[in-house]
Structure 1
Amino acid sequence: MAEPQVVVIGAGPVGQSAALLLARWGVPVLVLDQRERRDGAGSKSICQQRDVLDIWTAAGAGRIAEEGLAWTTARTYYRGEELFSWTFGEQGPLPPCVNISQSRTEEILDEAIAGQPLVEVRWGHRVTGLEQDAGGVTVRCGERVLRAPYVIVCAGARAQELRRALGVTFDGETFDDQFLICDIRADLPGWEHERRFHFDPGWNPGRQVLIHPCPGSAYRIDWQIPPHFIPSEADVGNRIRQVIGERDYELLWQTTYRFHSRVASRMRAGRVLLAGDCAHLVAPFGARGLNSGVPDAENAAWKLAFVLNGWAPQELLESYHAERHAAALENLEVTAATMRFLAPRTDEERARRRAALDSGRADRVDSGRFAEPFWYVDSPLTTPEPARPFRGRPPKGSPCEPAPGVIVPDVPLPGGRLREHCRDGFLVLLGEMCDSGLFAQVLGKVTTAPLAVRELAEMDGTGTLAERLGAGPDEAWLIRPDAHIAAIIPHAGPETVAAAVRRASCLAYQ
């Protein structure tokens, strides 16, 4: 393999994703992990959201979406009675969500890495030091010294030494209550495609229980338990029986853990970027952990590739911190509100929760708003358009109206889908009144980065694509390499689109 241009620290799913996405851009990558081998035990992070499945498909790991269990219905109970249920709204070429164990996700990503000659993985390499200078980063693993222009740290929540070496703090809080997790295998007819959330059931009074289906007749059960309670083998068996009844089952794995809400003070420190749990920890209700870490990896990968290939200045990397730190703060806010509902700490919070549950209203009961992509409407790379304002988060399960900063809808196309055309560089989509040849000629002089100019009618002659986007005949849409809309320009001319391209790649700030 060629000398690495990027060292990725941590071979978990975020580090694996970063390595595959960098290699997709032609960047040689070295992945380091302090473990001697992969630990394949336990479900860990199981809920993978559609937009993350899309990223993995682009990275060559589409089997995650294929093998995952696509659950459809979420049921919520209070003291044994069903309060309400909801199903995923908009369907698309990829399922809204699949459940699959993190260990299987890692296996699939490992298989993709094994077929990628630009990625090398070294186990048993504990990073003990990072030193930066104007030309790159020196990575020390004890007596071993490695060197690369850039580093991505995906070393997980316990990367205190690395954060400290970078001058990065990790402030936040830890919740008192523990959670007991068990993976079981059982035959539970009718439960195969349903997530079940129990508030205050008789068999776990005052606390919660969550049941998720997984492939192969496996189920993941989470119990909220008191802070210092140590469950015995008999207690675990009794708890499982209270959930599934007198059925045969196999206990596959169990663990206990506490939830944290923490965000790194910086996600970029010079030539080092932080991603995943190393940069942010949130409670898992809503599945916003790994579903935020993988977009970290994608955001970092395309920007590092642009800088390394000379397509953008190094200043582009500061937008990684601006965009992904804002995403982490939003996830922190959403999940902290959920934890205040699930584990109230004051009389006022307890009273509010009781009133919400007694009301039975879905809009008042907070069991975790499911993971969504963060939308870069305030990013320095986004060109705002007053005629296309961001109107805020839509109701749960509803699609967002396209606007600058929002991820482009994954519209089905003849023989594929829109986002399959969005990850090879910038994509300019033109209405029928725009001269694609003229746009291509002008934009080719603006940037050396990969850029494709496509007419909407050429991509889909039925008009469905333009209709789904709400695109006008004289509009131009600039799509970033991570499928987010960088600009929507009405009455578009080549120069106005050129300005948006410069802004989206930081060329405007040189």
Structure 2
Amino acid sequence: MWPHDPVVVIGAGPVGQTTALLLARWGVPSVVLDRRPERDAVGSKAICQHRDVLDVWEAVGAGRRIAEEGVTWTTARTYHRGAELFAHTLPAAGPSPFPPFVNISQCRTEQVLDECIAAQPLVDLRWGHEVTALARDDQGVTVRAGGEELRGSFAVVCTGARSDVLRRLLGVTFAGHSFDDRFLICDVRADLPHWATERRFHFDPEWNPGRQVLVHPCPDSTFRIDWQVPSGYDLDAETASGALDTRIRRVIGDVPYELVWSSVYRFHSRVADRMRCGRVLLAGDAAHLVAPFGARGLNSGVADAENAAWKIAWVGYGRAPESLLESYHDERHAAAVENLEVTTATMNFLVPPDEARARHRAAVLERAATDPDARALVDSGRLSEPFWYVDSPLTTPDPERPFAGRPPRGQAPAPGPGVLVPDGPVTLPDGTRTRVRALARDGFLLLAGAEADLDPVRAVAAEWRCALVSGYRGPERDNHSRAMWLLRPDAHVAAVLARPTRESLANALARATAQAVPPRRRTGDGVLPAHR
């Protein structure tokens, strides 16, 4: 039984929903507060859900449903001034049960997660509760919302981009910048079967000169179209004049269509200086804002939620010291900084901030039409990928598996400490067949090769409540069958023990739960050194 007050989750968007559901998996009750009177079920918003996020959602009963309803686009086509430069095919799913990506509207994703919450007695979702005060102490937090005061053992702030009040209450800064240009979104329903599995990116088309257009397929024959537009763009005026209809038809052609939803938004690149304030954690857009090219917003927010949930559970149950919460900032702030770096590079290519980079972009796009080597320089967004905790204070490094840096686009790094473990089938002693990641998300997991000596580690694994599975073939081709792979509750590799002993496993588990952490390596602003 959870021995404390519930966790207060502020914000009932996908990140807050995921946080509450994952806490419930660990038996942790939560109260979810949202200032809105009810769910705003309109618009596509964040549409690209990564395979690894679907995997997280499967742990709470939503992953397969969202994947089955979503559209899997398999080909990314890139155009310049109407001519196709190249097409990229996403890799196959491999051992994962999920496709690389699915497109589905954020509002539908939220509906599926709401259904999971409705079936979960440990989650208390309250609408119309705007948090106006938040105080924290060594034992928890006190919030005022909806005219009442609520006590919580921990709090997770998931209130999205407009979290200025709560960040100010916590003394958190949100440095960065905003882009001048706006982006117009239209959800258009039309019969375009030849576009159903393709993402189309247009650089400088004649019907949006000097700017970009992006087209994504979505369920129900709906297509999400994003236009880069000037800062003074007026959607209402363009709708009234009929110019919006002309704009849409220049993309889809002379076919019947229904305009389902439209909106104008502005891109921001910002990150909070702190993602942990005592027993309060910031997650999702409340902690970081990035341009959406590469789908690193919602996907990164779900990774925040998973990281926060298991660490709150371990601290609350007394399985780890409160310093484990500091590793949430270490790991997820480093992830946010990297996402900022990647998306800023994309925006500098899409919207060059100076003449030199404008000339570079023009030259790259001209060369890409005939030079395959130039195509790798065309930056329309590096697709979302999990952050690799190779520099985390919780990760035990392995000199035999050094991290080689960021791999080429579309590829995963070699398996090793800090990396999200490659998925694959595993058979339990009772004959049950499951997946490595599904098993890992039940707690700490030790996977032992067929020739590994289990005797030295059995007692340690039992003492630390670490599940032990033998006969694991491992994610490496050379199959170090004597090795053991220690996985965290978020399926990241905490350590690889080539010659496991009682002491080496105990040290790795102590380090992975912040009970034996080496001296912190920080730069002046509190960010772990860049590792890629």
Deviates more, 1:59-68 or 1:202-211: 59-68
| Structure 1 contact 263–280 (Cα < 8 Å) conserved | yes
| Structure 2 contact 216–224 (Cα < 8 Å) conserved | yes
Of residues 147, 152, 158 in structure 2, which corresponds to 1:148? Answer: 152
| Structure 2 contact 415–475 (Cα < 8 Å) conserved | no
Instruction: Tell me by how many angstroms 1:94 deviates.
Output: 1.0
Instruction: Tell me by how many angstroms 1:189 deviates.
Output: 2.3
Instruction: Tell me by how many angstroms 1:509 deviates.
Output: 4.7
2:457 partner SS: helix
| Structure 1 contact 90–397 (Cα < 8 Å) conserved | no
**Inter-partner Cα distance in structure 1 for 2:478 and 2:510:** 25
| Structure 1 contact 402–469 (Cα < 8 Å) conserved | no
Partner of 1:356: 364
| Structure 1 contact 68–215 (Cα < 8 Å) conserved | yes
**Inter-partner Cα distance in structure 1 for 2:475 and 2:147:** 60
TM-score of the aligned structures, taking structure 1 as reference length: 0.96
Cα-to-partner distance string for 1:35-70 (whole Å, 9 max, x where unaligned): 000100100000000100100001211211221111
Partner of 1:289: 297
1:190 partner SS: helix
Partner of 2:223: 219
Instruction: Tell me by how many angstroms 1:120 deviates.
Output: 0.5
TM-score of the aligned structures, taking structure 2 as reference length: 0.92
2:293 partner SS: coil
Letter in 1 for 2:381: G
Give the root-mean-square deviation of aligned CA atoms: 1.5
**Inter-partner Cα distance in structure 2 for 1:407 and 1:351:** 38
Whether 1:398 aligns to 2:411 is yes
Identical aligned residues as a percent: 60
| Structure 1 contact 90–398 (Cα < 8 Å) conserved | no
Instruction: Tell me by how many angstroms 1:211 deviates.
Output: 0.2
- What stretches of structure 1 move > 4 A for 4+ residues in a row? 1-4, 467-470
| Structure 1 contact 17–297 (Cα < 8 Å) conserved | yes
Relative to structure 1, the CA distance from residue 157 to residue 467 in structure 2 (aligned partners, 3 Å threshold; closer, same or farther) is closer
| Structure 1 contact 183–253 (Cα < 8 Å) conserved | yes
Instruction: Tell me by how many angstroms 1:496 deviates.
Output: 0.6
**Inter-partner Cα distance in structure 2 for 1:105 and 1:13:** 8
Whether 1:426 aligns to 2:444 is yes
Partner of 1:173: 177
Of residues 243, 255, 275 in structure 1, which corresponds to 2:251? Answer: 243
Partner of 1:451: 466
Letter in 1 for 2:82: G
Instruction: Tell me by how many angstroms 1:470 deviates.
Output: 4.6
Of residues 411, 430, 444 in structure 1, which corresponds to 2:424? Answer: 411
Cα-to-partner distance string for 1:247-297 (whole Å, 9 max, x where unaligned): 000100000011000000100001100000000000000000001000000
**Inter-partner Cα distance in structure 1 for 2:393 and 2:23:** 23
Of residues 250, 255, 277 in structure 2, which corresponds to 1:269? Answer: 277
Alignment length (residue pairs): 500
Instruction: Tell me by how many angstroms 1:494 deviates.
Output: 2.3
**Inter-partner Cα distance in structure 2 for 1:312 and 1:399:** 30
Partner of 2:430: none
Partner of 1:5: 6
Relative to structure 1, the CA distance from residue 467 to residue 406 in structure 2 (aligned partners, 3 Å threshold; closer, same or farther) is closer
Instruction: Tell me by how many angstroms 1:143 deviates.
Output: 3.2
Partner of 1:435: 453
**Inter-partner Cα distance in structure 2 for 1:249 and 1:242:** 13
Letter in 2 for 1:182: C
Relative to structure 1, the CA distance from residue 362 to residue 338 in structure 2 (aligned partners, 3 Å threshold; closer, same or farther) is same
**Inter-partner Cα distance in structure 1 for 2:468 and 2:510:** 16
Partner of 1:505: 513
Provide structure 2 residue ranges, at least 5 long, that are not aligned to the other structure. Answer: 369-373, 428-432, 519-532
Cα-to-partner distance string for 1:80-127 (whole Å, 9 max, x where unaligned): 000011111242321100000000000000000000010000000000
2:398 partner SS: coil
Deviates more, 1:63-72 or 1:312-321: 63-72
